[in-house]
Structure 1
Amino acid sequence: MKNNEGTAKNRVRVRPIPLIIAILLAAGGWVAAISALATRVPKLAPEAFENISANELMANLDSPLLQAIERRNSTARGSFTGGEISEDALQLLGWAATGKNREGTGFVVPLAMGSEPYVSLYLADASGVRRFSWESNEFVSVSGNDIRNSINQGQNASAAWIYVIDKDNVPRGNLDFAWHTIGTMSEHQYLLADELNIQTRFMADIDAGEVAALLGLDVNTNIPAGVMIMAQK
């Protein structure tokens, strides 16, 4: 694995692969927002795509999903406001990355060979470090340590999501499966963050060994593979 500074064999790089979700945070909270997805994103009949260019499609279809894709972007370094993100929004962002859907029979991201999630999602904010549980859609406390200054790369972000590969749980030990899943998880969070008016930036050039130590993990079995920093606008 390559490190731009030529030092850390533990550094990893991820190339996010788009697979899309756009969800609005409804006034009633994150559960209501999930329910709203079906009505906010229209299902298009095949004939809607006949004899029409992609540009015409974008210009004429009033689809929140297409609008979210068009707006998707990374917040520039030095532009983060440090605004605090609500607990409801954080919980929904966790679900969008690694939660269950389809009446609890599947997951919001594709997983190799019908597996359960093999990428753990951690959140670092002012309260400390928490792990998002896909089983319960809740946060589980890991520590009360504020580690943001160690992983934000100098950015004024109020929250940082950390994607950690659970090496022993990856099907056939093929880490490519994990890279693909992380790309999807991060893209889901990008699109939802835009809907929630949240700044965000994915950073793949991290020191996996250092981040694992901050989380109290063994980097040989639990590999930090990317950080997504966020702040409310």
Structure 2
Amino acid sequence: MKLFGKHCAGMLAILALPGMVTCADITLPPPQIKGGQGIFTLLKSRHSSTPADFPLKNISAQELSSLLWAATGQNRSPRGWTIPLAMNTAPYNKIYVLDDSGVYRYHWKQNRLIRISDKNIKNGISPQNIVGKSPVVLVFVSGSNIKKEYVYTTTGAMTQNIYLAAESMGIGGRFVMTMNEKAIREGLKLKTGEYPLNLMLIGKK
């Protein structure tokens, strides 16, 4: 396993990443998309982690890969995804992955985390202190110049898919809407027309 340099130690500690890893970006292992519990069993047990559950424990690269695929993965060719998308387009909402070592943007086509920053911004993006206690924070961001009704409907589907996938793997999750938009815009280096939609706190129970 190729290890991170000192600036990448945080993500390495959280994800225990195998394979090709550099400080610039991270290639995730293929998602595990077979097996698991039935959908109605998962719906019955689906729940949010409570504040008392924090701090949550670390997750693996394999688990993160599977969660991200559930949220915005391609499940059939030539144009088909795990979520409904307006006008049968490619995914327009983006997912950013935050941990102690920095900020990454998920590239769904390459199953890759693109490094944006080496700053830990978790504590500043929400007034809820449990956000900073989560080993992984997912930030859902709108695509540029996409209708609001499209992006909010889509982020709801993405979030629910993560809840269900997380439940099947024994991983905790919590949906958060209370955000510091200015801090997120600056920390994620968002473009004009992009804006944060919600957060998802992820970690082992």
State if a TM-score over 0.5 links the two structures: yes
Q: Does structure 2 retain, via aligned residues, the 8 Å contact 1:80–1:199?
A: no
Match of 1:33 in 2: 32
**SS of structure 2 residue aligned to 1:205:** coil
Match of 1:193 in 2: 166
- Partners of 2:31 and 2:183 in 1: CA distance: 38
What is the root-mean-square deviation of aligned Cα atoms in Å?
1.9
- Partners of 2:31 and 2:151 in 1: CA distance: 30
**SS of structure 1 residue aligned to 2:52:** coil
Q: Does structure 2 retain, via aligned residues, the 8 Å contact 1:163–1:226?
A: yes
Q: Aligned AA for 1:175?
A: K
Q: Does structure 2 retain, via aligned residues, the 8 Å contact 1:30–1:89?
A: no
Is 2:123 aligned against 1:149?
yes
Q: Unaligned stretches of 5+ in structure 2?
A: 1-27
Q: Does structure 1 retain, via aligned residues, the 8 Å contact 2:30–2:65?
A: no
Q: Which has the larger radius of gyration?
A: 1
Q: Does structure 1 retain, via aligned residues, the 8 Å contact 2:177–2:197?
A: yes
- What do the CA deviations read for 1:162-194 (whole angstroms, capped 9, x no partner)? 0000132x2xxx210110000000000011111
Q: Aligned AA for 1:188?
A: N
- Partners of 1:191 and 1:96 in 2: CA distance: 9
- Partners of 2:144 and 2:180 in 1: CA distance: 17
Runs ≥4 in structure 1, deviation > 3 angstroms? 29-32
Match of 1:108 in 2: 82
- Partners of 1:33 and 1:230 in 2: CA distance: 17
- Partners of 1:151 and 1:212 in 2: CA distance: 9
Q: Aligned AA for 1:132?
A: Y
Identity, % of aligned pairs? 29
Q: Aligned AA for 2:137?
A: A
Q: Equivalent of 1:161, from 138, 161, 165?
A: 138
Q: Aligned AA for 2:188?
A: L
Q: Does structure 1 retain, via aligned residues, the 8 Å contact 2:105–2:114?
A: yes
**SS of structure 2 residue aligned to 1:225:** strand
| Cα 1:114–1:103 shift into 2, 3 Å | closer
Could you tell me how far 1:205 is from its partner in structure 2? 2.2
Match of 1:4 in 2: none
My pick for the range that moved more, 121-130 or 201-210, is: 201-210
Q: Matched residue pairs, number? A: 175
Q: Where in structure 2 are the equivalents of 1:4-23 lying within 5 Å? A: none
Q: Does structure 2 retain, via aligned residues, the 8 Å contact 1:81–1:232?
A: no
Q: Aligned AA for 1:158?
A: P
Q: Unaligned stretches of 5+ in structure 1?
A: 1-28, 41-62
Q: Does structure 1 retain, via aligned residues, the 8 Å contact 2:107–2:114?
A: yes
* TM value normalised by structure 1: 0.70
- Partners of 1:166 and 1:87 in 2: CA distance: 25
Q: Where in structure 2 are the equivalents of 1:115-154 lying within 5 Å? A: 115-151=89-125, 153-154=128-129
Q: Aligned AA for 1:33?
A: Q
* TM value normalised by structure 2: 0.79
> With CA pairs under 8 Å and 6+ residues apart, which has the higher RCO, 1 or 2?
1
- Partners of 1:146 and 1:165 in 2: CA distance: 22
